Amino acid sequence: MSVEPDVYTGTLTYKEIEFSFVFDRKELRLIPPKHESHDVHMWFMKPLGKGAYTFGDPVYIEDDYLIGKCNENCQKIIFLPKYKNIGSYNSVLIIQIEAYIIQSYEKEWIDRLGFTSPELDCIFPTSQALENPEWTEDGIISIKTKDFDNTTSQKQKFSVDGKEISAFFGISRTSSGKIGKPPLELHSEMFFEFDKTNDYKFILKLWRIAKSFVQYLCYRKNVNLSSVDLSAPFGDGKHKKFATFYIIDKNINNEPEILEKRRYIKQEYINGSEGKILNDIAEDKIYLRHLPETYRIGRSIDAARFVMITAAFEWTFKKNYPDGISKKPTTIKAEETATEKLSELVDSSKGKLKKIYKFLKKLIGSNSLKTEIEQVGKDYANIIDVFGNRLYSLNKETLKYSEMGARLSQQRNNFAHGNLDKDFIGLSLLDLIYLEYIVYVMQLKEYGVDNKSIQRAINDLFGCSLAL
């Protein structure tokens, strides 16, 4: 990939005015020609009287994107504004940019995205593309790559805004004879294929889904997915790259040492389930709000992360147990009787007392965090106990789901209700670490991942170092 210039300049037509632009890969400045400067400045002014003006209403961009031509490479550049409102300094327009596209040559349609990143090189290892290298005593090394069919995963389907997307992984090969460049480069790519479109907002939405997917597999938000290859239909089901889509992503704080430690879930562990995960991400049906900004931040716990991780568990539990925890007939009968009694009290009461009875009625039949953890401990024991028993034994404790649930519930409530005078329950920190494992186990099991692959995923992602 060629190195981007720090600043792009060129020309751009907006509202039938040809502006000169300066773009520093964050902010776009549009400079009108001298004879148009006064008119552009007046967009932002409101007359008070003859010859008197004040600042007027906000000015908004009328188009979803702006198209210009770069001086540096004579290529088309397409800007996607971050906000609709336009700022100004005198007659210079100032627009915050969320993403932009550099076209190598012009194409009308897009039908494939290709994502590359250091994380994807690990999630779908490039090493699997190589045949066994052959060495000879006189220094000859023979390296041969496998064909595309043997280095491409099966396509998985998911939907976005009613459009079907095919997702799969592959390995690209690049050879070079240039000095300072390796003779052979291998990079893993994740591809999204779809019916041709020229909707750049839709492309940006697919990027967000792809990024969330990689974040989920790495359990951190700072994944590097800042550029995307755009391809156009090339006949007979083929595709040809014609542009690069750059996203201005400030949340990049690379942690290469974390990738070296293999803190990620490999594609082979979730093979066949990628579409289900991507579909839930697209429909916001998977809880990802608890993912830490960085891996290092994820290793420390504050009150906010404590509450968010327990929320992730409860969200996932409700999804996996839509009918709640199964109960004994005697318990169901008792709850029905209590509901009837409280309904009578609600009907015969007024004011604050009526609200209290309504609140108590809602509590009947609801599951507590403690009972939910106990239920998961029973249902997923054959997958998670191997991790829990080792984690607690290393800390000279014994795993008991009832006690774990009680501690987490009490400490979560202390944080959520601002009970700062309460002593921190030290062992709840160990419980929370284990709860992070459990959330992933529940999610991966729901997506149809087999038990052994789930265990391998947890082992790698959290560095458990178990011999499975």
Which pLDDT belongs to residue 135? 77
Which residue pairs from 87-92 have beta carbons closer than 8 angstroms and sit at least 24 positions apart in sequence? 88/41, 88/43, 88/44, 88/59, 90/37, 90/41, 91/31, 91/32, 91/36, 91/37, 91/38, 91/40, 91/41, 92/29, 92/30, 92/31, 92/32
Band (pLDDT 50/70/90 cuts) for residue 319 is very high
**Boundaries of every domain in the chain:** 8-103, 110-282, 295-461
Among the residue ranges 116-125, 336-345, 393-402, the one predicted with the least confidence is 336-345
Please, are residues 30 and 92 in contact by the beta-carbon 8 Å criterion? yes
- Is the whole-model pTM more than 0.85? yes
Which pLDDT belongs to residue 327? 61
Which distant-in-sequence residues (6+ apart) come within 8 Å of 420 by Cβ?
Answer: 414
Kindly report the average pLDDT of the chain as a whole number: 89
Structure token digits, residue 65: 């994107």
Please, are residues 455 and 442 in contact by the beta-carbon 8 Å criterion? no
Greater model confidence, 238 or 290: 290
456 pLDDT more than 70: yes
pLDDT, tens digit (0-9, with 9 covering 90-100), for 298-316: 888 889 999 999 999 999 9
**Percentage of the residues of the chain whose pLDDT score is greater than 70:** 92
Neighbours of 93 (CB within 10 A): 23
Which pLDDT belongs to residue 1? 47
Taking the C-alpha atoms of residue 267 and residue 218, their distance in angstroms, rounded to an integer, is 11
413 pLDDT more than 50: yes
pLDDT, tens digit (0-9, with 9 covering 90-100), for 204-259: 999 999 999 999 999 999 998 888 999 999 888 889 999 999 998 765 677 889 99
pLDDT, tens digit (0-9, with 9 covering 90-100), for 136-191: 777 788 888 888 888 899 999 999 999 999 999 999 888 777 887 777 788 899 99
**Residues 77-95, mean pLDDT to the nearest whole number:** 92
Taking the C-alpha atoms of residue 380 and residue 358, their distance in angstroms, rounded to an integer, is 35
Please state whether 447 falls in left (phi above 0), alpha (psi between -120 and 50) or beta. alpha
Band (pLDDT 50/70/90 cuts) for residue 464 is very high
Instruction: State how far the alpha carbon of 246 is from the alpha carbons of 181, 229, 249, 250, in Å.
Output: 23, 9, 9, 12
3-state helix vs strand vs coil in the chain, percent to 5:
40, 25, 35
83 pLDDT more than 70: yes
Nearest partner of 245 among 216, 221, 225, judged by Cα: 225
Instruction: State how far the alpha carbon of 275 is from the alpha carbons of 160, 175, 301, in Å.
Output: 11, 32, 32
Nearest partner of 196 among 236, 156, 239, judged by Cα: 239
Note the residue count of the chain.
468
Taking the C-alpha atoms of residue 445 and residue 237, their distance in angstroms, rounded to an integer, is 35
Which pLDDT belongs to residue 143? 80
Bridge partner list, 222? none
Structure token digits, residue 154: 């099966």
Which pLDDT belongs to residue 331? 61
